[in-house]
Amino acid sequence: MLNLKDPTLLRQQCYINGEWRDADDGDTITVTNPATGQAIGTVPQMGAAETRRAIEAANVAWPAWRKKTAKERSAILRKWNDLMLENADDLARLMTAEQGKPLTEAKGEIVYAASFIEWFAEEAKRVAGDTLPSPWPDRRIVVTREPIGVCAAITPWNFPSAMITRKAGPALAAGCPMVLKPAELTPFSALALAALAERAGVPAGVFSVVTGHSRAIGGELTSNPTVRKLSFTGSTGVGKLLMEQCASTIKKLSLELGGNAPFIVFDDADLDAAVEGAMASKYRNAGQTCVCANRIYVQDGVYDAFAAKLVAAVAKLKVGDGMEPGVTQGPLIEEKAVAKVEQHIADALSKGARLLAGGQRHPLGQSFFQPTVLADVTSDMLVAGEETFGPLAPLFRFKDDEEVLALANDTEFGLASYFYSRDIGRIWRVAEGLESGMVGVNTGLISNEIAPFGGVKQSGLGREGSKYGMDDYLVIKYICMGGI
């Protein structure tokens, strides 16, 4: 059914301390294809005991891994990157099968995921220290940057590969081992990455993958004192819980949580470009990304024209099984996700919104949903305050810059924001006024390995990718050299 060129990339066991293992009690979880509802296979239902062993193995593997030269670690990571690219077709098929996104998007994610391994393979060689001017004549101040130690990662299902490499890349490059718990809905992408890491020569214990009970595994990863750092991507609610759980052992935290991205179209925008950006930002991955446009604010003068162009673009989307050629929107990940989109639409319509496109489950059944556009959306509707995480574009109307900035910032989240304008003064004012970690100006796509990804407010802590991304996995040591 999967037609993999290399069927051994479909792994149904966990990878711990360099060995492929079942759960202690033999329990498994069945993974299903959201487009068909059919089972793809099973993965072990592990818990705290297996996780503890993975953490201990990481701790044992740590000294040798950190002692390797940066160049040696870099060469292994480089090989991992190359293997991902060589196997991109298979990795993409696995991803589409378990996650649902169209095959072209899945392939794009594999290339994007590999780019973090490549980038941090290069950055490994640039973890430099510092010397500072001393206040004493007989002592010198030296600053080094060291790997923090055993790292844990918990990742979501919406980017089953990239959210892993964005964490494992810098961790391994810095000299840290990592224990990963991937999302239970998309474990095969993670296990295939582990198979390639093994082939690339990542030593036993340096990268382990544990699947199963999220609370039991998460409980161990957050309470075990050997783990020095947790990196989590997922919902704000779970992020808060994990932060609390990490408090008793003061772990360093990277959190990439929910967003509620505003997408603002000013009167002077290039409307065709704005529609193209909105389509990419809103409907990519069926609206299931944390940087998806969640609230589209359109200025009075271009509101109707923008709405008409957006509806025309939405009509061209092709909904279907992501494995089929030409499909641009796959199914949502599960029934619960469909229910949330339906709730947001029903709430908006009951409060006076107008339906311009879609609005219903798709005739294909399963968790397929029609790409939807709503007009006359206002701040009192659910969609204004919550991330929809689905293919719903709500159009709000605004009059001037001051009003829209206040509306855009009226959220506890601050991950991405976007706006379209040609006026240089306005571009600076709005870019500086938006409370978010990332701003797309005249573009709906901002993610790449070179730029720092992350949020402010309740969207999280830390930055992933970029020359800043390594800092999350390093600690600073000050050495005072006396007796000179």
Question: Which residues make up the interface to ligand ADP (CB under 6 A)?
Answer: 154-156, 181, 183-184, 214-215, 218, 234-235, 238, 241
Indicate the residue among 33 and 231 with the shorter CB distance to ligand ADP.
Answer: 231
**What is the nearest approach in angstroms of ligand ADP to the Cβ of residue 309?**
31
Residue 211 sits at the vertex; the CA angle it makes with 207 and 216, to the nearest 5 degrees, is: 110
Indicate the residue among 181 and 251 with the shorter CB distance to ligand ADP.
Answer: 181
Structure tokens that stand for 349 in this block:
């319509």
**What is the nearest approach in angstroms of ligand ADP to the Cβ of residue 222?**
7
Helix, strand, coil fractions of the chain, as percent rounded to 5: 40, 20, 35
Asked about 244 being catalytic, the answer comes back as no
Alpha carbons 4 and 189: distance in angstroms, whole number: 13
Indicate the residue among 237 and 301 with the shorter CB distance to ligand ADP.
Answer: 237
Query: For 44, phi and psi rounded to 5 degrees?
Result: -65, 140
**What is the nearest approach in angstroms of ligand ADP to the Cβ of residue 69?**
33
Alpha carbons 10 and 20: distance in angstroms, whole number: 12
CA dihedral (116, 188, 253, 76) in degrees, to 10, reads -40
**What is the nearest approach in angstroms of ligand ADP to the Cβ of residue 360?**
23
Alpha carbons 33 and 94: distance in angstroms, whole number: 10
Query: For 26, phi and psi rounded to 5 degrees?
Result: 80, 0
**What is the nearest approach in angstroms of ligand ADP to the Cβ of residue 238?**
3
**What is the nearest approach in angstroms of ligand ADP to the Cβ of residue 411?**
17
- Written as one string, the DSSP assignment of 423-476 is -HHHHHHHHHH--SSEEEES-S----TTSPB--SGGGEES-BSTTTGGGGGEEE
Indicate the residue among 145 and 340 with the shorter CB distance to ligand ADP.
Answer: 340
Structure tokens that stand for 30 in this block:
């069945």
Residue showing the smallest CB distance to ligand ADP in the complex: 218
**What is the nearest approach in angstroms of ligand ADP to the Cβ of residue 284?**
16
65, 161 contact by CB (below 8 A): no
In sign, the C-alpha dihedral spanning 250, 253, 257, 261 is: positive
Determine the angle formed by the axes of helices 424-433 and 401-409, rounding to 10 degrees. Answer: 30
Cβ-Cβ contacts under 8 Å for 210 (sequence gap 6 or more): 14, 16, 46, 50, 51, 54, 179, 180, 181, 217
Catalytic pick among 256, 387, 449, 464: 256
Structure tokens that stand for 397 in this block:
């109307």
Indicate the residue among 134 and 235 with the shorter CB distance to ligand ADP.
Answer: 235
Nearest CA to 436 out of 232, 262, 289 is that of 262
Indicate the residue among 232 and 303 with the shorter CB distance to ligand ADP.
Answer: 232
Indicate the residue among 104 and 214 with the shorter CB distance to ligand ADP.
Answer: 214
Nearest CA to 369 out of 346, 325, 400, 335 is that of 335
Catalytic residues: 256
